[in-house]
């Protein structure tokens, strides 16, 4: 992704894809068709595109703050307070609920991760990179497809068997939420344990032992009421990572659950 200026005043982001085979052009066309027809405050907006020549160009709104992962373990680590983190979690949930339930077809992103969440000037999240997205026909419980995504964020039924449904995005949302709360990468091993234990494993073990607070990022200086609020959001995140798929909530249900917890923080 590169920064560019149009008409000497409008700053945009330009995503370039080199066409080495027909699949690259197909993926580009897929992303353009999806993103150009979707409008939501928590989804990155397509401003234009070009498919002439060897390079495919996608022009997107520019997000000066970059991606979420920069704030969790990159150069801006520790800058986000709990209110900002909660707003980001809630915004991602709303964006996914729009893709799954409010658009005229169900769109499954397939690659929800911290690197694909961009942050705007108001620290609101915008879901980006729809190159792997797929449509799901009405009435289908899932579709079978070759795995494409990022291990660690991907639901087991999809990574193992290729079963794709909107609940795959729900699972990934749960993992990203735990990353936002903990400041840990989902696939980083906890160095304080003698056994190999990733973030999701740790979160479940702490929850089962009523030790939710051990999941929380040490950079967060929380009040007692904020600690209770974070515990509730951790529980929602874990619900999103449950198996089998049938007990995992839809993103529209997740939005309602998070909305019910908004009273714990002052939201602009």
For the stretch 84-106, what's the b/e string if a residue is b when 16 or more beta carbons lie within 10 angstroms of its beta carbon? bbbbbbbbbbbbbbbbbeebeeb
Confidence at 49, pLDDT banded by 50, 70, 90: confident
The whole-number average pLDDT for the span 17-46 is 77
For 175-188, what is the mean pLDDT? Answer: 95
Give the list of residues 6+ apart from residue 241 with CB closer than 8 angstroms, or none: 171, 174, 175, 200, 248
Give dist(CA 53, CA 229) in Å, integer. 52
The predicted model gives 249-258 an average pLDDT of 96
Confirm whether 111 is a catalytic residue.
Answer: yes
DSSP alpha helices (H): ranges in the chain?
22-36, 68-73, 82-97, 156-161, 166-182, 199-208, 224-240, 251-259
Query: How sure is the predictor about 248, in pLDDT bands with cuts at 50, 70 and 90?
Result: very high
Task: Indicate if the pLDDT at residue 264 is higher than 50.
Answer: yes
* Domains identified in the chain and CATH numbers: 2-61 (3.30.200.20), 68-264 (1.10.510.10)
Looking at the chain, the whole-number percentage of residues with pLDDT higher than 70 is 82
Q: Are the CB atoms for 252 and 100 separated by under 8 Å?
A: yes
pLDDT at 136: 44
CA distance 177 to 111: 14
Q: For residues 16 and 59, which has the higher predicted lDDT (pLDDT)?
A: 59
Q: With beta carbons less than 8 A apart as the criterion, state whether 178 and 92 touch.
A: no
CA–CA separation, 100 vs 248, rounded Å?
14
At 8-25, the pLDDT tens digits run 678 888 887 666 667 767
Parallel/antiparallel/unpaired status of strands 46-50 and 55-61 = antiparallel
Separation of alpha carbons 17 and 121, rounded Å: 27
pLDDT of residue 253: 96
Q: Is 18 exposed, middle or buried (0-12, 13-18, 19+ CB in 10 A)?
A: exposed
Catalytic residue among 7, 29, 69, 111: 111
């Amino acid at each position: 992704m590169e920064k560019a200026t149009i008409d000497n005043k409008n700053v945009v982001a330009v995503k370039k894809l080199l066409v080495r085979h027909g699949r690259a052009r197909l993926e580009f066309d897929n992303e353009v068709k999806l993103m150009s027809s979707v409008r939501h405050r928590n989804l990155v907006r397509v401003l234009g595109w070009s498919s002439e020549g060897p390079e495919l160009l996608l022009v997107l709104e520019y997000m000066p703050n970059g991606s979420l992962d920069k704030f969790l373990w990159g150069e801006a680590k520790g800058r986000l307070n709990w209110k900002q983190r909660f707003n980001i979690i809630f915004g991602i949930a709303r964006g996914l609920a729009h893709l799954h339930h409010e658009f005229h077809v169900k769109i499954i992103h397939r690659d929800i991760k911290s690197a694909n969440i961009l942050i705007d000037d108001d620290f609101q999240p915008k879901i980006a990179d729809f190159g792997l997205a797929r449509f799901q026909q009405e009435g289908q419980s899932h579709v079978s497809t070759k795995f494409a995504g990022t291990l660690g964020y991907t639901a087991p039924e999809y990574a193992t068997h290729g079963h794709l449904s909107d609940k795959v995005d729900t699972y990934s949302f749960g993992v990203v939420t735990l990353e936002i709360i903990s400041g840990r990468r989902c696939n980083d091993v906890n160095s304080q344990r003698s056994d190999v234990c990733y973030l999701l494993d740790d979160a479940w073990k702490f929850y089962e032992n009523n030790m939710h607070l051990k999941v929380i990022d040490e950079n967060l200086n929380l009040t007692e009421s904020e600690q209770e609020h974070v515990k509730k959001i951790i529980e929602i995140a874990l619900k999103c990572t449950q198996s089998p798929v049938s007990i995992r909530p839809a993103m529209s249900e997740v939005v309602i659950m998070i909305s019910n917890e908004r009273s714990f923080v002052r939201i602009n």
